[in-house]
Chain A
């Protein structure tokens, strides 16, 4: 049975069709929420909220966007809402990022090919994990959808209900922020060991 048929049946109250949709999407939704929220309990809450909202609103789903986009939008919004409620202080990123205007005057440590820079490097992974947690929700959500979930710019803009231009701007800042964190780490390392 196609997804569209499943959705039609679920709309008419077919519980087994709905259960199939839940089976198809629950793990992806759980992981999406986990990536945005970085906390398992919160991710489970969002997972439940998302599907309860699907039950409630399925009859209004008109198929103009794909079911995937629709459910992702619900889950992303629920995650962001939760993040906002926690009132965590995030690192503010400057509105007008001119940070690498100074690029030409800087001495660069090129760490992009450092062989120790792998997912096995616990120190670096913890640093990135922490940096992701510091990114405020508007940047984090774009980064997770686009760079981790690897959705297109168009899909990301639909899910977050922002323009494609905005997706690009936020994505760029998020990427630069994370890169800068790694760069700080390397700069410290270099100054510590006193070699350059």
Chain B
């Protein structure tokens, strides 16, 4: 294999932003930085599925990999202005052909939920397993007090007896695993229970004979698919629904953007909000774009008239890639903010 899965993901993201963004914007995207800029980029370039899918990255490991890709000539230019080469595209495609294209992965929607969900699930399976085998002395698989507390509460209030927990969990998981886009072993191998300990990510990858980052993305893919199925089909998996329920936050907003939303509700203008929050006007505009992306009920009308909105949508159809500059050239009377806002509202609909 000449390219690791994570590298293919990087090439994929660089390809989307090439000529317009630096490589660090891709780093922030994969790392899931909650800044208005990163969130907008994720939507603007339709990279939401990769958002926050590689939280383990460090800037230096990312740059080392970028330089590796440049050396292999999959990417030209430099970290400031990277472009993907034909060879890079071919290698990326070859890898995705083998791994599949992770269709049900949605970092933007699920990454926050997924990590909490999996920690809870791991602990719940461990507890259920030991309960069934009547084995009460074991070390919990997590040291996160919030997860420990949550499972304790869950056991008190769950809609079944302790005896039923294990078979019911089994049947719910079985039901989900049958619809999984990945082999269910990639999830099960990570569970701890009676007389067996879950495998680490590196161990799981080795055992399943996969490159480590390929395993990681397949694992995430499986996890996101599970969460999607749990939240969408409202009947089949009541226990697991209760596991996900209070984590799922459909509108993922940065705190600062929420505050801007509160000010907008008081009918303040952008300038007034900027003045009262001592922020730059551009920052407030970023928040508004973020709101447009995330909240389907958010109206952009105060900032752009209907006709001008239609003009942006029309122009965007003609310009195939979503670059702002050519759009702006076609729309001299629009501000950049207005163009971004309309694009955000439009891509928000497709999330």
A binds B: no
Give the interface of A toward B (CB within 8 A).
none
Give the interface of B toward A (CB within 8 A).
none
